[in-house]
Amino acid sequence: MSDDLKYFEDLVVGTKASFGRYEVTREEVVEFASKYDPQPFHLSDEAAAQTHFGRLSASGWHTAAMAMRMAVENMKDQRSAGLGSPGLDELRWLKPVYPGDTLRCETELLEKRVSRSRPEMGITKGRTTVFNQHDQAVMTYIANGLIRTRPAEK
């Protein structure tokens, strides 16, 4: 393994990062909703006008997918010994996301610990907040991550 990888031991609780830029398009909102969340307010302005959204809005699951895309793009720039994720906690959709919005992410590492059953890996917990172009938080979640511990010197 390369020495320039970031391992569990290199992570510092409290570290914050900002990344991403995702422009939400009407076509993508309707396409995603048509496939995965075909509620009327995600499909047409007319149906959305009858709801608290007021106009066509992205599915919360679409917002989560856009955030994941930004996270993966950010990971390409990081050389990490990451091993994936066992899941999310506390997913919250705070404000609607509309076509024309531009999203970005901020993260903070909240905690880390070595796995009791698998000491070759660490478990992390981090908060991600997704913001729109007005710096309004539109979604938050807590991500649980897995990352290798540094291999012992031979």
The CB-based long-range contact list for 73-79 (8 Å cut-off, 24+ gap) reads: 73/19, 73/20, 74/17, 74/19, 74/20, 74/105, 78/6, 79/2, 79/4, 79/5, 79/6
- Give pTM, 2 decimals: 0.91
Q: What span, in angstroms and rounded, lies between the C-alpha atoms of 53 and 41? A: 8
| CATH architecture label of 8-148 | Roll (3.10)
pLDDT, tens digit (0-9, with 9 covering 90-100), for 72-128:
999 887 788 889 899 999 999 999 999 999 999 999 999 999 999 998 999 999 999
